[in-house]
Structure 1
């Protein structure tokens, strides 16, 4: 269970909090626990979770989840996203994190341009929300997989 939760979110505190509530009576109960665990993360816990996320525009090689979530990024946007992500990272100390599933590259560029000027506290709370969406999506996907790892 711990390994599966770590694939969803790299924060050990988040995974421990979600695992501690087992067994869950429903998917909704699991998702509620995941949101509660996200709300309780410290800045260090958030940093641990964010460190596992590749920059938008450069999915982790061989990571199907990363590639799937960033599939809306086309070659035309990739270089600009990476350039802006470097500037964002210099300003905020971590990669730009956004719930990318279903979003195109232009939409993510617009969000990055909008958020790069945020103060660090505001951005931390936006990141917490975005990470919560990512975790929710990954948990829901995990719940629909069969024992062999395929979609039900």
Structure 2
């Protein structure tokens, strides 16, 4: 049992059966290695400890682990049907014009052709125009530069998702 000073959402996460905790973490990030590292470090005394463990696990992901994590993300502007998390995170594209949506689709495809994976950005709080500008800027990166940017963006996404996991009321 976790300490009574542990925030309720975090205590609930710490107390989950391993299978349920694994599933909850997998919802935050599709990397098996990341999930394994965060499970191994339970229980967490504070949300900050969980976020630090997430950052440390993200820093150690191999290119294959990063590819696995990215595979869990739909393209910007095309959240998976029935996926409220991606829809919420990509809300900046929801009200975008048809022209911007078409441009984003074209840019997503060009990016995917260049790098072999979806364009990944922490979309929370960004407008469609900001996401479009980011893909235009990043498409000129080298694969190594882009892999490290993706690692950083995944880390931001994971923190947001983990905060929702441990800070929500039951």
Q: Following superposition of structure 1 onto structure 2, how do residues 24-63 of structure 1 map, counting pairs within 5 Å? A: 24-63=44-83
For residue 85 of structure 2, the aligned residue among 59, 65, 82 is 65
Distance between the aligned counterparts of 2:169 and 2:102, measured in 1?
37
Distance between the aligned counterparts of 1:68 and 1:8, measured in 2?
14
Distance between the aligned counterparts of 1:23 and 1:116, measured in 2?
40
* Aligned: 1:137 with 2:160: yes
Q: Secondary structure at the match of 2:123?
A: coil
Q: Secondary structure at the match of 1:72?
A: helix
Q: Secondary structure at the match of 1:75?
A: coil
Show structure 2 runs of 5+ residues with no match: 1-20
The higher radius of gyration belongs to: 2
**What is the TM-score normalised by the length of structure 2?**
0.85
User: Can you list the C-alpha shifts for 1:7-35, whole angstroms capped at 9, x where unaligned?
Assistant: 00000000000110000110000000000
Q: CA deviation at 1:146?
A: 2.6
Distance between the aligned counterparts of 1:15 and 1:78, measured in 2?
33
User: Can you list the C-alpha shifts for 1:99-148, whole angstroms capped at 9, x where unaligned?
Assistant: 0000000000000000011110000000000000000000001112233x
Distance between the aligned counterparts of 1:10 and 1:86, measured in 2?
22
Deviates further, 137-146 or 39-48: 137-146
Q: Secondary structure at the match of 1:32?
A: helix
Q: CA RMSD in A?
A: 0.7
Distance between the aligned counterparts of 2:116 and 2:141, measured in 1?
13
**What is the TM-score normalised by the length of structure 1?**
0.95
Show structure 1 runs of 5+ residues with no match: 148-152
